[in-house]
C-alpha cells in the first residue's frame, strides 16, 4: 500500500485494487492476508497481534466459536504464541518439517516451513527428546489445529522450561482474573469476566482484594493508585457494618490480617487521598462518602 | 490433538497417579544398579531402563509410570546437569495442580 502512497496514490490504489478487494484501501492488504490463512474474518485487527506464552493443552482445548472464526483462549483472541516442549517425533517433508511437540500437558504438531532458498533448511535440526522453544501462529486447518512455526530454537537452560510454565500461568490468570494490583484494569476485568471469583489463589485477604478490584474500577478511581495494604483496609472498612462511627485500629488490624504498623501506614495513605476520615479518635476511621 | 497429559508431579502427588504416566524433575540422590533414588520434594524410587544415563548429584527429568508401590518405572530420562533450580521445578508441579485447566486432563 505505502508504495502507492504520495499525491494521488490513494485514488490509484483504490481504482486498481478496490474492485477486486471489494473494500477500499485496507481491503487489499486484509483480503490477501486473511485469504492465505483461511481466516474468514476480513476485518482482522492486526494491532491486536500479541505474542502469548501458552501450554499446549490450552491450544488443544481452545475452540472456535464457528468455523473460520478467530481462536480464543480465556476470551482473548490468540494468534502468535510461544510454547516450550519436547520433540517426540520428526517428520521431514519437501515443503515443511513436522515436529510432534509434547510439553506434558498435551501433544501438538508444529510445522516449520522449509525455505527453499536456504541450503539445508530442510534438514531437521532437533532430534527426539530435545527441549525446544517455538514461536509461531496457531492455525486451524480442516478442523485440525497445528502451530505454524516462525522460529524454533533449542533450550539450553532447563530452567527455561519451568519459567515458561509459570509465565503461561501468569498470563492466563491475569486474563482470567485481572492484573494483580493493576490500576483500573483489575476492576474492569473483574466485572467483565471474573464474576465473584477471588483474584488470588489463597483466601484470607483475597476476598477483600477481589472486591477492591471491582470497587476500584467502578466507584472510585483514586483507589486504583493506592498501595495494596491501603486497598485492603479500604475494602475492609467498606464491607464492615460500622456506620458513621468507623472502625478502630485494632479491629482493622484483626480483620485484615495486617500489622498495626501497616494499618497506620495504610490509613495515612487513605487519609491523604481523601478516602477515609478519622471519627471518635485518631485511630478510628470511616469511609468518606459524599 | 491428543487429549492426554503427563502430569508434572512431586513425591507427594505419587499416590494420586498410580498407573499413570508422570513427569518428575528432581535430583539424583543415589544409584544402585538399575534403581535410583530421586529427590523431588521427597525421595522417589525409580526403576531404570537400559537407556538411562543418570549421574548422582545431577538434576534429572524422568517420564515414567507410577507403580502400585509408588515407585516409578522410567520410560525416558533426561540428564539436566547441575544448573537446575529444583525448588522452581517443585513449584511448577504445585502450580500445575492449582491450574489443572491449563495443565492436566483428568
| Dihedral pair phi/psi, residue A279, rounded to 5° | -110, -100
Look at B78 and A129 and tell me if their CB atoms are within 8 Å.
Answer: yes
**Is the CB of A170 inside 8 Å of chain B's CB atoms?**
no
Q: What percent of chain A has pLDDT over 90?
A: 27
The predicted structure's pLDDT at residue A89: 94
C-alpha cell at A189: 476485568
What pTM was estimated for this model as a whole?
0.63
Strands A51-53 and A80-92: parallel
The answer on pLDDT for A217 being more than 70 is: no
Q: Which residues pair with A64 in a beta bridge?
A: A71
Residues 6+ apart with CB under 8 A from A258: A229, A232, A233, A252, A266
- Is residue A126 within 8 A of residue A87, CB to CB? The reply is yes
Residues A200, A208 contacting (CB under 8 angstroms): no
Residue A221: which pLDDT band, with cuts at 50, 70 and 90? low
Q: Is B86 on the interface with A (CB under 8 A)?
A: no
The tens digit of pLDDT for each residue in A261-289 reads: 889 989 998 888 888 888 888 889 988 87
Q: Which residues of B touch A172 (CB under 8 A)?
A: 99, 102
pLDDT band for B104, please (50, 70, 90 cuts): very high
Count each helix (H run) and each strand (E run) in chain A, helices first.
10, 11
Closest CA to A64 of A28, A30, A39: A39
- Between CA A114 and CA A167, with CA B3 as vertex, the angle to 5 degrees is 70
Q: What is the ipTM of this complex?
A: 0.93
Kindly tell me if the per-residue pLDDT of A178 is higher than 90. no
Interface of A with B in 84-143 (CB under 8 A): 102, 104-109, 129, 131
- The answer to whether B95 contacts chain A (CB < 8 Å) is yes
Task: Provide the angle, in degrees to the nearest 10, between the axes of the packed helices A249-256 and A228-239.
Answer: 110
d(CA A50, CA B38): 40
Q: Does A145 touch chain B (CB under 8 A)?
A: yes
Mean pLDDT of A19-31: 40
C-alpha distances (whole Å) from A17 to each of A9, A11, A24, A37, A43 are 12, 10, 8, 20, 17
Does residue B33 come out as left (phi exceeding 0), alpha (psi in the -120 to 50 range) or beta?
left
Amino acid at each position: 500500500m505505502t508504495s502507492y502512497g504520495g499525491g494521488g496514490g490513494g485514488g490509484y490504489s483504490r481504482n486498481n485494487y478496490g474492485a477486486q478487494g471489494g473494500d477500499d484501501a485496507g481491503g487489499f492488504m486484509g483480503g490477501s492476508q486473511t485469504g492465505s490463512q483461511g481466516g474468514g474474518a476480513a476485518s482482522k485487527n492486526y494491532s491486536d497481534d500479541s505474542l502469548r506464552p501458552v501450554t499446549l493443552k490450552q491450544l488443544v482445548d481452545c475452540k472456535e466459536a464457528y468455523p473460520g472464526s478467530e481462536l480464543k483462549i480465556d476470551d482473548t483472541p490468540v494468534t502468535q504464541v510461544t510454547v516450550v516442549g519436547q520433540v517426540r517425533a520428526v517428520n521431514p517433508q519437501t515443503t515443511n518439517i513436522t515436529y510432534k511437540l509434547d510439553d506434558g500437558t498435551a501433544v501438538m504438531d508444529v510445522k516449520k516451513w522449509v525455505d527453499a532458498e536456504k541450503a539445508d533448511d530442510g534438514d531437521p535440526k532437533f532430534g527426539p527428546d530435545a527441549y525446544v522453544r517455538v514461536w509461531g501462529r496457531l492455525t486451524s486447518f480442516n478442523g485440525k489445529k497445528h502451530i505454524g512455526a516462525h522460529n524454533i530454537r533449542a533450550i539450553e537452560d532447563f530452567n527455561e522450561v519451568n519459567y515458561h510454565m509459570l509465565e503461561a500461568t501468569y498470563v492466563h490468570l491475569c486474563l482470567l482474573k485481572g492484573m494483580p494490583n493493576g490500576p483500573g484494569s483489575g476492576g474492569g476485568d473483574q466485572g467483565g469476566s471474573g464474576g465473584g471469583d477471588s483474584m488470588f489463589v489463597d483466601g484470607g485477604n483475597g476476598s477483600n482484594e477481589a472486591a477492591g478490584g471491582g470497587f476500584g474500577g467502578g466507584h472510585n478511581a483514586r483507589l486504583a493508585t493506592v498501595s495494596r495494604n491501603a486497598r485492603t483496609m479500604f475494602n475492609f472498612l467498606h464491607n464492615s457494618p460500622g456506620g458513621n462511627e468507623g472502625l478502630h485500629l485494632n479491629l482493622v488490624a484483626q480483620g485484615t490480617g495486617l500489622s498495626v504498623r501497616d494499618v497506620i501506614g495504610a490509613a495515612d495513605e487513605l487519609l491523604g487521598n481523601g478516602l477515609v476520615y478519622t471519627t471518635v479518635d485518631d485511630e478510628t476511621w470511616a469511609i468518606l462518602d459524599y | 490433538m491428543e487429549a492426554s497429559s503427563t502430569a508434572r508431579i512431586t513425591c507427594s502427588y505419587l499416590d494420586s497417579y498410580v498407573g499413570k504416566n508422570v513427569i518428575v524433575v528432581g535430583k539424583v540422590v543415589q544409584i544402585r544398579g538399575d534403581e535410583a533414588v530421586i529427590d523431588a520434594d521427597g525421595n522417589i524410587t525409580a526403576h531404570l531402563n537400559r537407556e538411562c544415563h543418570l549421574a548422582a548429584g545431577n538434576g534429572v527429568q524422568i517420564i515414567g509410570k507410577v507403580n502400585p508401590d509408588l515407585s516409578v518405572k522410567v520410560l525416558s530420562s533426561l540428564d539436566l546437569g547441575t544448573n537446575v533450580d529444583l525448588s522452581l521445578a517443585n513449584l511448577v508441579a504445585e502450580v500445575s495442580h492449582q491450574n489443572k485447566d491449563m495443565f492436566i486432563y483428568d
